[in-house]
Copies of this chain bind each other. A is one copy, B any other.
Amino acid sequence: MLNEKSLSVSPDCSECPIRHRAVCARCETDELERLEEIKYYRKFEAGQTVIWSGDRMEFVGSVVSGIATLTQTMEDGRTQMVGLLLPSDFVGRPGRSSAAYDVVATTDLVMCCFRKAPFEEMMLRTPHIAQRLLEMTLDELDAAREWMLVLGRKTAREKIASLLSIIARRDASINQRDVEDRLTFDLPLTREAMADYLGLTLETVSRQVSALRKDGVIELEGKRHVTIPDIGRLLEEAGDDADGGVFA
């Protein structure tokens, strides 16, 4: 906790890399000015816990850069990841006083935080924020439901393929890369984190990743750098409808 850093200077909203995708996306200039007054940046290092489940939450905020995970843990230690937080994703629930999940930085992370009470008060007066938050929450709900199908009904191989295609899609969207390009990215998750996301053990993840590599569905350089020669093939392996533009 000691190596967490608060930045004294928060960059101007108008230059923010997530300006057009985050909870503030629809705000007008004057609304942004009021947001500037209650915002502050915080940095976390890879591996640090951002919020502990059950803790009192004094802020909500957006991921500016880096990746974090949302996880739930049972008393006996079994854990399930319930969300992957990428830049522009929102953290925290207005109207709730204590955190429901652990939030952990898996890479170095920068967050744009808003003090909770002022943010909630501002939400009531600023429909642009509430509207955008509703839209984002509906998207997250859809993603969670898609993930329920993955967890409940897919095989281990399909689960891995599903995770890779989701990361590939999000990566392409964030980096504005063309989908027709040869997709290539770094896995932001350890095998254990992948297992926690997919409801598998890390051994099974390792075996199935190797199998997909052996079958030519993916290519690996080192343990983490992935290339996808044929995205249609990967989507087929995921059990998704290959055509019909999940990527459109």
* Smallest beta-carbon distance A83→chain B, Å: 7
Q: A95-B135, A130-B130, A131-B130 are in contact. Are A151 and B199 (CB under 8 A)?
A: yes
The binding surface of chain A is classed by DSSP as helix
A199 with B152: CB separation less than 8 A: yes
Measured between beta carbons, the chain B residues less than 8 angstroms from A137 are: 134, 137-138, 141
A184 within 8 A of B: no
Measured between beta carbons, the chain B residues less than 8 angstroms from A151 are: 148, 151-152, 199
Measured between beta carbons, the chain B residues less than 8 angstroms from A131 are: 124, 130
Q: Considering the chains assembled together, what is the distance between the CA atoms of A76 and B151 in angstroms? A: 17
Q: A127-B130, A134-B133, A135-B95 are in contact. Are A147 and B148 (CB under 8 A)?
A: yes
Q: Considering the chains assembled together, what is the distance between the CA atoms of A4 and B144 in angstroms? A: 31
B144 with A78: CB separation less than 8 A: no
A93 within 8 A of B: yes
Closest 3 CB pairs of A and B: A152-B199, A151-B151, A144-B144
A binding-site residues for B, Cβ under 8 Å = 70, 72, 74-76, 78-80, 82-83, 93, 95, 100-101, 124, 127, 130-131, 133-135, 137-138, 140-142, 144-149, 151-153, 198-199, 239, 241
Q: List 20 A-B residue pairs with CB atoms under 8 Å apart, sorted by A's residue number.
A: A70-B145, A72-B145, A72-B146, A75-B241, A76-B239, A79-B153, A82-B145, A93-B142, A124-B131, A130-B130, A133-B134, A134-B134, A134-B137, A137-B138, A141-B144, A144-B145, A144-B148, A148-B148, A151-B199, A152-B199
